[in-house]
Structure 1
Amino acid sequence: MSTPQLPMPQAAAPEWQAAAGPSYGGYTSPIPVVRTHLGHALASEWTKIKSVRSTIWTLGVFVVLVLGIGLLAAVVVSNSSSEMNGENPLSLGFFGLLLGLMCIITLGVLTTASEYGTGMIRTTMTACPSRARVLAAKSIVFFAVAFVVTLVTTSFIAFVDASLLKDNGAKDPSAGEWLKGTLGVSLYVALLGLLSLIVGSIIRHSAGAITIMIGAVLAPLVVALFMFSQSLENVRQALFEYSIPNQLSVFYSNSLSESGPSGWDPLWIIVGVTAVAFAGAVALLEKRDV
């Protein structure tokens, strides 16, 4: 009769295993488990936005449009015999910024919608299961980039235009006009780009979201131009007053309508619309599959 063999005592786990955490089946990974937080998501989104070509191209074209058109307008006015008649010289930056706005909208949409097109969003959500955190990180990183680029660009062209037109009868902008023409308009543009990002997250299709946002920018003003009926006068006036081009012009004290938003009103309007859209996007993210 053979003697049953007793199990050999298991050796104690090395100190590095005990320090790393609980063991599973006799093995513990030497890599410590770290609870993720918003900072990790921000670092990830920053790596994405700075490493894709679309960021360089869209922001590069934005800077060229704002600086090029703003400078061209100032040179034409300064070399002409016409006088500014006490008008705000910063208002010449409006035309380039209105066209450059399309670049910020495009980048905002691509920041989210492109990941759905490539399927990369599955990897993103696997690495960070908190969908609200992912959207918040994308929003913070994009807003910071869009705001800084817009602020630097608009500030530069504002100083150039004011310098070129000081001998053409242009007024000396007040501190409030400088603040609105640089900081205020930069916040508005960055928030509109952020709204585009949120729409891209909701639509999940780059072309569709870009079309919607460009339509939101241009359609109200275009539709109002073709409203000739007297019965639609109130609607026509509202479309003029609250169209994005008119709200953008308010920051340059050059509103397209005599009534409607004034001062800092456009900024509070876009803040409210963006906040509501963000809440809706988070709710949809939690309900829909990736």
Structure 2
Amino acid sequence: MSTPQPPMPQAAVPQPQPQMAQAPAPHWQSAPAGSYPTYTSPIPVVRTHLGHAIASEWTKIRSVRSTMWTLGVFILLVVGIGLLAAVVVSSSAGETDLAGENPLSFGFFGLLLGSMCIITLGVLTTASEYGTGMIRTTTTACPNRIRVLTAKAIVFFAVAFVVTFASALLVALADVALLDSSGVRDPSGGEWLKGTLGISLYLALLGLLSLVIGSIIRHSAGAITIMIGVVLAPLVIALFMFSSSLEKLREALFEYSIPNQLSVFYSNSLTESGPSGWDPLWIMLGVTAVAFAGACALLEKRDV
């Protein structure tokens, strides 16, 4: 007779547990907030403005190598060529009649070549950020794109003007001193103003136009090529217009070419008509303002 085996215990079946109601995610608000009345943020909450963007752009432009290189070459060209021209003219004073010559005009050659450095720096100030992708970080920190472009323009214009004015003034003082005994006349107050302040404002605006073109093109090499063409192409094209039917066009290209507009500040215009006095400054100001407005419109329509 077999002994009955005790029944095997059955595995306990897990019972469904009542689900706990999850608390809704807190609605974060800037401190102090109604949900957290006792919290005080250790970081001050400050509404950003144009001054913050200017400080950021100043940090950028003074910390990159391209600024030091382009401005260094600019000063070397302007001061070196300006002084060299004055020394050459002074050494040949006995062979050349310098009566009535404006001694400030010998700084024109260095400024014309130095304008290429200002153009390059202006383009790199905006276009280089698109090439490296840094523009995404910039627009994340400051979503207002027009504010960013305005800050770049203000910082660049200030830097370009100060460096150009200091270089032009140094060359002007040195040239007047070197040519004092060579028969040249003393510049008038108006000529001093145009040959230092006026031409510095003009070159700073030319660099600002390059900055705007860099923002529109978004390619450093392409924008620099366009600006060099704007500076040199009208004069070069006019030199090869031999047909009499193109005479009016040739004269217009001569008159409004940038090298001729630069010479107007020294009263050495290549033509008898065309811009005079402070006209080149107003022309460059108008062109730059139109280009800046176009760049602002494109910034609002295009992705970074």
Give the conservation status (yes or no) of the 8 Å contact 1:20–1:30. no
Q: Please identify which structure carries the higher helix content.
A: 1
Instruction: Report how many residues are paired.
Output: 276
1:277 partner amino acid: A
**How far off is 1:20 after superposition?**
4.0
Picking from 263, 270, 274, the partner of 2:284 is: 270
> How far apart in 1 are the matches of 2:243 and 2:158?
44
> How far apart in 2 are the matches of 1:209 and 1:236?
26
**How far off is 1:85 after superposition?**
1.9
> How far apart in 1 are the matches of 2:50 and 2:32?
24
Q: Runs ≥4 in structure 1, deviation > 4 angstroms?
A: 23-29
Partner of 1:105: 119
Partner of 1:47: 59
Picking from 62, 71, 82, the partner of 2:74 is: 62
**How far off is 1:162 after superposition?**
0.8
2:32 partner amino acid: G
Partner of 1:21: 32
Partner of 1:157: 171
SS of structure 2 residue aligned to 1:268: helix
**How far off is 1:213 after superposition?**
0.2
2:111 partner amino acid: L
Picking from 111, 115, 133, the partner of 2:129 is: 115
1:77 partner amino acid: V
Counterparts of 1:131-210 in structure 2, within 5 Å, are: 131-210=145-224
**How far off is 1:25 after superposition?**
8.2
2:76 partner amino acid: V
> How far apart in 1 are the matches of 2:133 and 2:30?
38
2:228 partner amino acid: I
* Residue 31, structure 1, aligned to residue 43, structure 2: yes
SS of structure 2 residue aligned to 1:233: helix
Give the conservation status (yes or no) of the 8 Å contact 1:20–1:32. no
Partner of 1:216: 230
Partner of 1:8: none
SS of structure 2 residue aligned to 1:129: coil
**How far off is 1:83 after superposition?**
2.9
> How far apart in 1 are the matches of 2:286 and 2:226?
19
**TM norm structure 2:** 0.88
> How far apart in 1 are the matches of 2:117 and 2:30?
51
Unpaired segments of 5 or more residues in structure 1? 1-17
Give the conservation status (yes or no) of the 8 Å contact 1:200–1:206. yes
Partner of 1:261: 275
> How far apart in 1 are the matches of 2:303 and 2:41?
32
Give the conservation status (yes or no) of the 8 Å contact 1:251–1:264. yes
Larger Rg: 2
**TM norm structure 1:** 0.92
Evaluate the alpha carbon distance shift between residue 100 and residue 23 of structure 1 in structure 2; reply closer, same or farther with a 3 A threshold: farther
Partner of 1:228: 242
> How far apart in 2 are the matches of 1:207 and 1:47?
24
> How far apart in 1 are the matches of 2:255 and 2:51?
40
Unpaired segments of 5 or more residues in structure 2? 1-28
**How far off is 1:24 after superposition?**
6.9
Partner of 2:11: none
- CA root-mean-square deviation: 2.0
Counterparts of 1:231-250 in structure 2, within 5 Å, are: 231-250=245-264
